[in-house]
Structures are given as C-alpha cells and as structure tokens.
Structure 1
Amino acid sequence: MNRLLYIGIPVVLMVAFLFIYADSKKKIEAAQEKARIEKATEDKRIADEKEALRIRNKENADKADARRRADEAEKELKKKQEYEAGLQKIRDEEATFTADLNKYKKEIAELETELDKIRAEKEKLSRESIDLSKEIAAAYIERQNAEMEVQRYAAMVARRANDSPLARPPAVAPAQ
C-alpha cells in the first residue's frame, strides 16, 4: 500500500490539479477573452470617439477655413471696392483738373490777347508821345526862331531908325 499511496495520491492530486487547472484555465481564458472583448470594445469606442473627434475637428477646420475664406473674400471685395473708389476719385479729380486746365488755358489765351492789345496800344501811345514831343520840340524851335527873327527885325528897325535923318533931333541954333 505504500506504493499505492506513493503513486495514487500524486496521481489523484494530479488529476485534481488538472481539473482545477483546466477549470482555472477556462476561467482565465474566459476572463482574458472578456478582457480582450472589453479592450476591443473600448478600443473601438476610443477609435470611434477619435474618428468622431477627427470628423468634428475636420468640420470645425472646414468651417474655420470657410469663414477665413469668406473673410478673405470680404476683405478682398472691400479692398477692391476701396481701390475702385480711389480710382474713381482720381478719375473725377483728373476730369476736374482737366476742366480747370482748359478753363485756365482759355483764360490765358484771353489774357494774352488782351495783353497784345494793351502792348499795341502802348506802342501806339509811345509813338504818339514821341510824335507830340517832336512837334513840341519843332514848335519850340520855331518859336525861338520867330523870337530871334522878331529881335533881329526890331534891331534892324532900331538901327535904321537910328541911322535915319528923321530920327535925329534938329540942330538947335546956338543962342545968341
């Protein structure tokens, strides 16, 4: 019996161990399978959340991109409108300046015509003034000549009268 005890007890214990081991292994495998399924479920949930987050982020990025593009388009439109307004203002100023330029050119032409008339009149008055000065000088010379002629004639008459026997007083007889 000793042998039986030495061989039987370990065999029984081994069989019991194998049953317990098999049962534990099934439980462990079930727990591992459950953990694997839970992990797979958790991974899928996390993946789904990540995908949802990625989709939300993509949508937010698309919305932000659309807003940015809309803002850029609005800024570009505003900039273009400002440019067009500035260009129109420049064109209006150009038209105003061109009109002023034409008005001033016409005014210059009128003033130059008036200046030419005034210069011609000045030249005419200068000639008349010179002619009158010549006439005055000639009249003055004629007057001097006439005065000299009168003085010469008066001197001649005085000399003749002096030389004339009639101009001498009669000789008075000496008193006796």
Structure 2
Amino acid sequence: MNFAIEHTHATSPYLQVTGRKHSLKHRLIIVESGLALVRLGKHEYAVEQGQAFWLPFDCLVSTTYLPNSSVKEISLSARLKGAFSKQAGYVELSPLLLATLEKLSSSSLSDEYQHALNQVVKLECCALMTALHLSPLSESISQWKPAVASVPKEVHIGLLVREARKMKLSGKKDELIASALFDGQLGQYQALYQALIQP
C-alpha cells in the first residue's frame, strides 16, 4: 500500500515541462509557492500559490512549473479502489487532508502509522469535488502570444523560454529562435535559456 500512494515535494530553480500524455495515476497537485500550468485540451489552467488541482487517471495532460515554484504532488495508483473524481479541476483541500499531508512529511513515522495516514489521504481524495473554470490569469495564458506581454513579466519569460525549448527540440537553430521570440537578441535568448532550462 505504501507504493500505491506516493508523495513528492520539489522546488527547482529551473522551468519544468512535461510532454502531453495520459496520466498513469490519479494526481493531486498542490502549489505552495510559485505557479503551475496545467494544459487540458485547448486551455491552460494556472494553479497559483495555495491552490490545488486534481488530475484523474488517464487524463491527457501536460504540466509546466515556473522556476522556483514549490509543488507538492500526491500520486495514487489507478489500481486503488475508490470513488475518485473522473473530472480534472481545482479542488478545495479539507483541514484533515492538509494536516495528514503535513504529518506524512515527517520522516520518523512507523510503517503502520504511515499506512493508516495514507488511508486517510485516499478517503479524503475520494471526497474531493472538482471545478474547472478559467481564471483571468488562465484566460491570459491560454491566449498568450510571444509578441504580446499580456501576462506578468515572470510568466511571460517562462512562456517564451518554454516556446524556445519546443523550437529547439524540433531542430530549430538558435538564430531563428532568437529572431522569432527575442527580437533577434541572440545573447539575451541564450542567457535566459541557460538560466531557466536544466542542463
């Protein structure tokens, strides 16, 4: 059971981008600081500090974590029995779930205690009610274009570098990327790319 529910907590100085794929587990993303972007269909949903987002098993999704975002993620095996929501969306976390997750972050728990707490996590996740709505920030990010800085500066830079990464992975040369996204400023593009993309 310990491996059926897994907990990760990560903060990275780099831009983290996952490709679009079907989720192999149920996932609960909790943003403690910074910003996570969840792409579902044509829209990108901004998960801001203090917000949580539920992704059910087999959901087609890609995620982006902006640099220095602190994100907690709970993964629950698709084999777990329970009435988990089949809809992705924002969720409100109960005080009990928050307290249980806080307790689980302690490294001095016995296996029996950890197993019992994970049962609470599972039951609380089954009770989550999802809501999918486009906040003003989500709307701006979904409609974002490289030439128009319609989002906060740090988000705009993150999106520019993400777009540059995509072009680079498809074989585009640095000069072409700088011309398309950074007004031809090759040095600026290379400096930002090296600073934000993990080597």
Q: TM-score, normalised by structure 2?
A: 0.11
Larger Rg: 1
Report which structure shows greater RCO (CA 8 Å, sep ≥6): 2
The structure where helix makes up a greater share of residues is 1
